[in-house]
Amino acid sequence: MGVIPDGAPCVASPVRVETRGDGNMQLLLVGVNHRTATLEEREALALREDEARTLLADLTGRGLVPEAVALSTCNRTEFYAVAETIAAADEHIREAVRAVRDGDLLAPGPQRYVLTGGSAAEHLFRVACGLDSMVLGDVQILGQVKEAYTRARQAGAAGVVLDRLFETALRAGKRARRETTIGAGTVSIASAAVELAETHGPLQGCRVLIIGAGETARLAARHVAQRGPAAIVVANRDLSRAAALAESVGGRGVALAALGDALAAADVVVSATRAPATLVSAALVRQVMERRAARPLLMIDLAVPRDIEPEARHVAGVTLHAVDSIQAVVGEGLGQRAAQVPWVERIIADECARFDAWWRGLEATPVVVALRDHFERVRLQELERMRHLPPDERARADRLTRALINRLLHVPTLRLKSDAASDEGHRRLIAAQELFALSAATPQRALPQAE
């Protein structure tokens, strides 16, 4: 079983569940992130919203993967899936990516990781709590997890298993922020970008251009505004969104058509869009610099895929940082957050245990249902023998026998659902089937899957 660096499974046995009558289903995660993949590799895998929807429809449309969620941010692209066969599901995910990207970008290699069962669940909980972010306790990641889950639900790709998994992850993330100070202060990718900018000189009195109007751009604009710049300009494809963001920070909005003039006037540029291709070419930067009378230009590109062509760094007078440069400047000021990690780990362990208990109960469900069906058939057969009784007496017998069956099966039901994933719990399920000749399929023992 693959394990992410700095992460260890919190559930010893692989999570598994009987779902939709399709057999022994397992939880799978295939992905890349900033720890395992280069910016170029992450860039190639980054999904636009329409691509994510297309990919989810492809993944779940052929029955091999009944449930799937795609999480794509500047730091990671991850696919969470429920499937009966890990190897087949892994290949199916690779095929779906090839269909939208025309390349085997998830081929086995050091850039990707594969986690199954409890390890996959714990990893998602760590992501939602901000422990797996480039910036520890990143305030944006919880919203990004929620967006990915919402998109999957709207596409009909999330079912009973991933519903519970992502709802548990969101609860873990909210608990981490409510019960600890892991998100204290204003440290995020956006705020770190502003700190990085100020290592080149104070922003006070500078003219700052923000490209984009999404959440990262909004946070960057807010942090810039606190530094007392001479002017803030927001450029965006949708001029109304640019104007709205600019107004909130005392700046002005412009359309992307005016990007050349905005670049020529700026001292600092922070770009954070979700554009599928480069917005600022090296040629445009070269033209702009010819108009600036040797004034230097600092550019920080937070987008994945990148907004600014990397070759722009070679233009005289230009300093260009990509998102991975952020990691070098975020260590300072995170001491308080780092001290909270053990407390967040406890929250994650607690939520892992809850999720594992829920899944163990699901494994026992077919046997419990079969056992109750068996007793119900016996009860109805005995009631049939009382058909000669008056209606009120038959009704009373129905109530009494129903209550009796519930009382008799209460403790056995709890015992069967308790620790169903353990060897002892598995033996109890088999014993119940044999003792009562139940028709439910014998629970299968799922083994850890590896690449």
Tally of CB atoms within 10 A around 87:
13
**Taking Cα atoms as reference points, which of 419, 438, 444, 418 lies closest to residue 372?**
438
Q: Of 10, 74, 129, 352, which is the active-site residue?
A: 74
Alpha-carbon gap, residue 289 to 270, rounded angstroms: 17
Alpha-carbon gap, residue 410 to 412, rounded angstroms: 6
**Taking Cα atoms as reference points, which of 133, 125, 123 lies closest to residue 172?**
125
Residue 129 to residues 107, 183, 425, Cα–Cα distance (Å): 28, 9, 32
Residue 36 to residues 150, 151, 389, Cα–Cα distance (Å): 27, 26, 74
Alpha-carbon gap, residue 253 to 213, rounded angstroms: 10
Q: Using the Cα atoms of residue 9, residue 150, residue 161 and residue 371 in order, give the sign of their dihedral.
A: positive
* Type of residue found at 303: A
Strand partners, 233: 209, 252
Is the preceding peptide bond at 305 cis, omega within 30 degrees of 0? yes
- Contact call for residues 218 and 236 (beta carbons, < 8 A): no
Instruction: Let me know if 74 is a catalytic residue.
Output: yes
Alpha-carbon gap, residue 65 to 162, rounded angstroms: 12
Q: Which residues are catalytic?
A: 74
